[in-house]
Amino acid sequence: MAGCVRYSAPGCIVEYMEGNAAHIALVLEDTGGRLRLLLPNRRETRLTAARLLPWIGPLYAADISREDAVRLLEKHRQTRENLAVAIPVLEVWELAQGEVPQARAQWFAELFVSEPDADTVAAYGRALLACKNHFRFQPPEFQVFSSEEVEKRLAEQKIRQEREALSAGGAAFLRLLWDVTLKKRALPPASSSEYPLPEVASRLEDVLRARMVDPDSQEHEALWRLLAKGLPDVPHLPLQLLIAWERLPAHYNFWLDRADYTAGDDWWRDCADAVEGLARPNLNDLPLCDLPFISIDSASTRDVDDAFYVEVPDGPDRGFSLTLALACPALCWPFGSVLDRLVLRRGTSIYLPEGTCHMLPESLGTEAYSLLAGHERPALCVRVSVDGQGDIGPCELFLARTRIAANLTYQNSQTVLDAPEDSLPDNAAAAHARALRQGLALARLRQRARIAAGAVVMDRPDPVIRLHGTGTEIRVDIQPDDTAPDAQMLVAEMMILASAAVAQWAREQAVPMLHRTQDVAIPREYAGIWTAPQDMARIMKALIPSTLEVHARPHAALGIGRYTPVTSPLRRYPDLVNEAQVVAVLRTGKPRWSTEALTDLLASLSPVLEAAGQVQRFRPRYWKLLHIRQQGDKVWWHGVITEENDNFVTVSLPHQGLFVRGRRRLFDERACAGTAVQIRLGKVYPLYNEIQILEAISL
């Protein structure tokens, strides 16, 4: 190694690390390992010999003039920098990797140069120092990383570089977007210099979407703190920034994203072959049940999953016989398939003012298996008798193909039920007046029996939310639903009756099922039909939310000992599972799942249903709050006090289906549960789920 020396001495060229870079110097004096060095800028510095890099030389005369020394330093510095740039450092790593675990700089230089001089060795040392993903400097040698370690370090470097670029270019852009949110400025065009680079913008959008979906995730926590520095700590900040950026539309339903629930009818396209096969069920091996079933649903319903036929064998005083036809997608459903896993991740249909999200592909749920009048469909039929006291008798279950006689609406059915027998209205339900009246008589009998058993019936109005316009111009209208109390009660009681009957059958047959339970003791005086908001609020405090369980327990509010949901297999996955259990028993004599298997299935299903339930609860409330905000804070709203204490008063707005709370000082001393009031509302922030009572007047 021409020009290299082992130890430093006056007149020797040396290098040392400072600020993560190699610096060249000439030794002027060595006093017991304490060196005085001359730098290329003519300044001097002092450091210990231990700090020198392990490539030393060449050595010049100790009495060299300062001018000559500076000239030599500049010459060697330039030579080493030029050589270092030209070194194929990755080729050096490839040759060394697997050959030696570590070596000095001169060893690597000798791979390419037979007798490297001091400048060449130093150049290789500099090149290896700069290649931190492939080498680690452990004086006096360089450790050679394995290919696996290099791959890992390169990936980490890429992430680090992306984070640095994102935090540098993204934070300012997010502050710009917040100003757009506050309407302090308009969103600049994409060609503006204020926009981040395309790769930064793409990554920034990914981070915002991830934080919108899961604000508690730790994946981007550190990066988010950097990006959001200086921005207000407000709920749903990522969502607001994405809307300001026009990456999402105004009033975007982020709850669906949080539930991992895809809107529309394209989510199943990768399983098109499976869906197409299911759309043509084989009905040849099913016997025909030619009873004139009728269904009753809202006018907009497309997924008809139940229809009924009521007989009165020996007159009303002796009881009834109900045969319920249930849509039967479970007949050939491919449990465990890719399609099934997609449906399981949805868990239930979701009904929103902006549209319905169906659990099943629409070609199945609203067409092939929907009980549409005039079309043959597979059905699970539930036949149950009810005696004159409303008690449930034996239950018979069988598979059949059916042809529904009529699909009726609640409103048409109610009009018929309200009309005298000799003056029926001119609508589609009039031809089925007898069936409707028999069904209503059965429903009333069953409701009385349930109330006698402790059932609590909440007769709560359900307003209709209608949206007009799009985007920022959307307007919300809330109107009372068309009242059809008898028709709706008729359907509700038949669904409860069928689910209770199937639960009874499952107990007798020892078939594991998913049960809806509400095992809580309710005061006897709470049984009955309740309409006053203050009464319903008081009773709701005594109840607990119902839960889905494998082991059957009572359902207190329904007043029945066992409740097995099975009547909505097109809309709810638990009903589809329960129907499949019945179908398996009817066809093979054995259930499809054991109790343990249902428990495992429920562990996956419960969080899905909870997430979908949040969408169903919070999204309509958002539109209701937006409606109130759009009316302004000068409007007076009719309400009823449901609860009050020394600090707060809770008011029900029955026509809007909302509860709001205000400070006790806003209400006069007469305010108590049941008091009718007029209230003025303001400071409404639908996205934050915030609303305040500004003023209240007791009536």
- C-alpha torsion angle, residues 560, 561, 566, 568 (rounded to 10): 30
The 10s digit of each residue's pLDDT in 354-407 is 999 999 999 999 999 999 999 999 999 999 999 999 999 999 999 999 999 999
Does residue 159 share a domain with residue 138?
no
- At 101 the pLDDT is 93
In this structure, the answer to whether residues 227 and 135 fall within a common structural domain is no
User: For residues 608 and 345, what is the distance between their CA atoms, to the nearest angstrom?
Assistant: 6
pLDDT reported for residue 318: 76
Backbone angles phi, psi at 38, to 5 degrees: -100, 130
| Each residue's pLDDT tens digit, 1-47 | 456 777 788 999 999 999 888 999 999 999 988 999 999 999 999 99
Q: Is residue 58 reached through a cis peptide bond, with omega within 30 degrees of 0 on the bond before it?
A: yes
Alpha-carbon distance of 23 to 126, in angstroms, equals 10
Nearest in space to 309 (alpha carbons), one of 427, 439, 203, 194: 439
Q: Which residue has the tokens 């299911």?
A: 278
Three-state DSSP class for 48? strand
* 435, two tokens: 């069936």
Q: What's the pLDDT score for residue 315?
A: 60
Q: What is the DSSP letter of 656?
A: T
Residue 674 belongs to a domain with what CATH number?
A: 2.40.50.140
Asked whether residue 607 is assigned to any structural domain, the reply reads yes
Q: Are 548 and 515 in contact (CB under 8 A)?
A: yes
Residue 431 burial class via C-beta count within 10 angstroms: exposed 0-12, middle 13-18, buried 19 and up:
middle
- The residues with which 615 forms a beta bridge, in sequence order, are none
From 125, 145, 165, the end of a domain falls on: 145
Residue 558 φ/ψ, nearest 5 degrees: -85, -15
Between 587 and 217, residue with greater pLDDT? 587
- Dist CA 133 CA 130 (whole Å): 9
Q: How high is the pLDDT of residue 334?
A: 97
Q: State which amino acid sits at residue 635.
A: V
The verdict on 304 and 436 lying in the same domain is: yes
Spatial CA neighbour of 22 closest among 144, 148, 125: 125
Q: pLDDT value at position 3?
A: 65
Least confident of 100-109, 162-171, 412-421: 162-171
Q: What mean pLDDT comes out for the span 547-554? A: 96
Q: Is the separation of the CB atoms in 247 and 332 below 8 Å?
A: no
pTM of the model: 0.80
In this structure, are 418 and 345 located in the same domain?
yes
pLDDT for position 439: 96
- 55 and 90 housed in the same domain: yes
Q: What's the number of CA atoms in the CB half-sphere (13 Å) around residue 368?
A: 20
Hunting for tokens 């060095």 — which residue is that?
37
Residues 198, 170: Cα–Cα separation, whole Å = 11
In a domain, 107, yes or no: yes
E strand or H helix that includes residue 444: helix 433-452
273, part of any domain: no
Within this chain, do residues 578 and 649 fall inside the same structural domain, yes or no? Answer: no
pLDDT value of position 198: 84
Last residue of a domain, one of 92, 125, 145: 145
Three-state DSSP at 403 gives: strand
Mean of pLDDT values over 618-630: 97
pLDDT for position 163: 73
Asked if the structure places residue 253 within a domain, the reply is no
pLDDT beyond 90 at 421: no
Q: Which of 599, 620, 641 lies at the terminal end of a domain, its last residue?
A: 620
pLDDT digits (tens, 9 = 90+) for 475-513: 999 998 888 999 999 999 999 999 999 999 999 999 999
Query: Distance between CA 377 and CA 400 in Å, rounded?
Result: 8
For 518-549, the pLDDT digits (tens) are: 999 999 999 999 999 999 999 999 899 999 99
Query: pLDDT tens digits, residue range 139-180?
Result: 999 999 999 999 998 988 887 777 777 777 788 899 999 999
Cα separation, 182 vs 7, in Å, equals 68
Residue 174's domain spans which residues? Answer: 149-248
List, in sequence order, the alpha helices (H) in 111-227. Answer: 118-130, 147-181, 198-213, 221-227
Q: What is the DSSP string of 563-579?
A: ----S-TTTBHHHHHHH
Q: Could you give the CA distance from residue 363 to residue 472 in angstroms, rounded to a whole number?
A: 33
Distances (CA, A) of 199 to 160, 167, 173, 196, 227: 14, 13, 14, 8, 16
Mean pLDDT of 659-663: 95
In order of 457, 507, 652, 679, the CA distances from 658 in angstroms are 19, 40, 6, 13
* 312 & 195 share domain: no
Per DSSP, the residues of 682-693 read: EEEEGGGTEEEE
Residue 393 inside a domain? The answer is yes
CA distances from 156 to 152, 223, 315, 657 (A): 6, 15, 80, 52
Q: Is residue 222 included in any domain, yes or no?
A: yes
**Count of CB atoms within 10 A of residue 216's CB?**
6
Q: Report the chain's mean pLDDT, rounded to a whole number.
A: 93
Residues in contact with 684: Cβ distance below 8 Å, sequence separation at least 6, in sequence order: 625, 626, 628, 629, 690, 691, 692
Rounded Cα distance between 328 and 368, Å, is: 10
Residue 365 DSSP one-character state:
I
pLDDT (mean) for 455-464: 92
Tokens 């302004």 found at: 632
The H or E element that residue 490 is part of is helix 485-509
Q: What is the pLDDT of residue 1?
A: 42
Q: Let me know whether 170 and 237 are in one domain.
A: yes
Residue-level pLDDT at 517: 97
Contact yes or no for 108/57 (Cβ under 8 A): no
Cβ proximity of 311 and 321 under 8 Å:
yes
Residues 517 and 641 in one domain: no
Shared-domain flag, residues 317 and 396: yes
Strand 456-458 to 528-530 pairing: parallel
User: Above 80 in pLDDT, residue 79?
Assistant: yes
Give the residue with greater pLDDT, 27 vs 217.
27
Residue 136 CB contacts under 8 Å (≥ 6 apart), including other chains? 142, 143, 145
**555-578 pLDDT, tens per residue?**
999 999 999 999 999 999 999 999
**Residues near 280 by beta carbon (within 8 Å), at least 6 away in sequence:** 368
- Residue 272 covered by a domain: no
Alpha carbon distance 115, 107 (integer Å): 11
Q: Are residues 109 and 181 in the same domain?
A: no
- Looking at the fold, whether 227 and 126 belong to one and the same domain comes out as no
Look at residues 279, 460, 500 and name the one whose alpha carbon lies nearest to residue 377: 279
Q: Is residue 4 part of a domain?
A: no
Q: What is the reported pLDDT for 483?
A: 85
- Domain count of the fold of the chain: 4
